[in-house]
Amino acid sequence: MTNTLENIDRKIKAPAKESLLTPRFYTTNFEEIALMDISKSLPELKAILKEFLHDYNRNHFIRDKEFDQNWNNLDEKTKNLFIEFLERSCTAEFSGFLLYKELSRRLKNQNSILANCFEMMSRDEARHAGFLNKAMADFNLSLDLGFLTKSRKYTFFSPKFIFYATFLSEKIGYWRYITIYRHLEKYPEYRIYPIFKFFESWCQDENRHGDFFAILLYSQPKMLNTFQSKLWCKFFLLSVFLTMYLNDLQRSDFYRSLGIDARQFDIQVIRKTNESAARVFPVSLNLNNDKFFKYFDNCARYNKKMIEIEKKSNNKIYKNIQKIPFILLLMIDFIKLFFLKSIDTKFTLNVIKSI
Ligand SMILES: [Fe+2]
Ligand SMILES: [Fe+2]
CB–CB of 173/206 below 8 Å? yes
| Higher-pLDDT residue of 22, 16 | 22
Q: Running DSSP on this structure, what letter comes out for residue 344?
A: E
List, in sequence order, the alpha helices (H) in the chain: 2-9, 30-34, 42-54, 76-107, 112-137, 145-151, 159-186, 199-218, 222-225, 227-249, 252-257, 262-278, 290-312, 316-338, 345-354
Task: Specify whether the backbone of 55 is left (phi greater than 0), alpha (psi in -120 to 50) or beta.
Answer: left
- Identify the pLDDT of residue 349: 52
* % of the chain with per-residue pLDDT over 70: 91
Give me the half-sphere count of Cα atoms (radius 13 Å) on the Cβ side of residue 205: 27
CA of 129 to the centre of ligand 2 (A): 10
**What's the sign of the alpha-carbon dihedral 16, 19, 21, 23?**
positive
Close Cβ partners of 66 (under 8 Å, ≥ 6 residues apart): 194
Is residue 8 pLDDT above 60, yes or no?
Answer: no
CA of 206 to the centre of ligand 2 (A): 4
Residue 52: pLDDT band (50, 70, 90) is very high
CA of 95 to the centre of ligand 2 (A): 10
CB–CB of 168/277 below 8 Å? yes
Looking at all shown ligands, the one closest to residue 94's CA atom is 1
List the end-to-end C-alpha distance of the chain, in Å, as a whole number.
67
* % of the chain with per-residue pLDDT over 90: 82
pLDDT in tens, 250-305: 999 999 999 999 999 999 999 999 999 999 999 999 999 999 999 999 999 999 99
List, in sequence order, the alpha helices (H) in 152-261: 159-186, 199-218, 222-225, 227-249, 252-257
Looking at all shown ligands, the one closest to residue 170's CA atom is 2
d(CA 151, CA 145): 10
Q: Which residues pair with 309 in a beta bridge?
A: none
- Identify the pLDDT of residue 342: 97
CB–CB of 107/33 below 8 Å? yes
- Identify the pLDDT of residue 146: 87
CB–CB of 145/70 below 8 Å? no
- Identify the pLDDT of residue 10: 63
CA of 207 to the centre of ligand 2 (A): 7
CB–CB of 113/38 below 8 Å? yes
Is residue 127 pLDDT above 70, yes or no?
Answer: yes
d(CA 164, CA 154): 17
- Mean pLDDT (the chain) is 91
pLDDT in tens, 54-82: 999 999 999 999 999 988 888 899 899 99
- Identify the pLDDT of residue 21: 61
CA of 282 to the centre of ligand 2 (A): 23
- Identify the pLDDT of residue 122: 98
CA of 209 to the centre of ligand 2 (A): 5
Pairing assessment for the beta strands 154-156 and 343-344 based on DSSP bridges: unpaired
- Three-class DSSP category at 38: coil
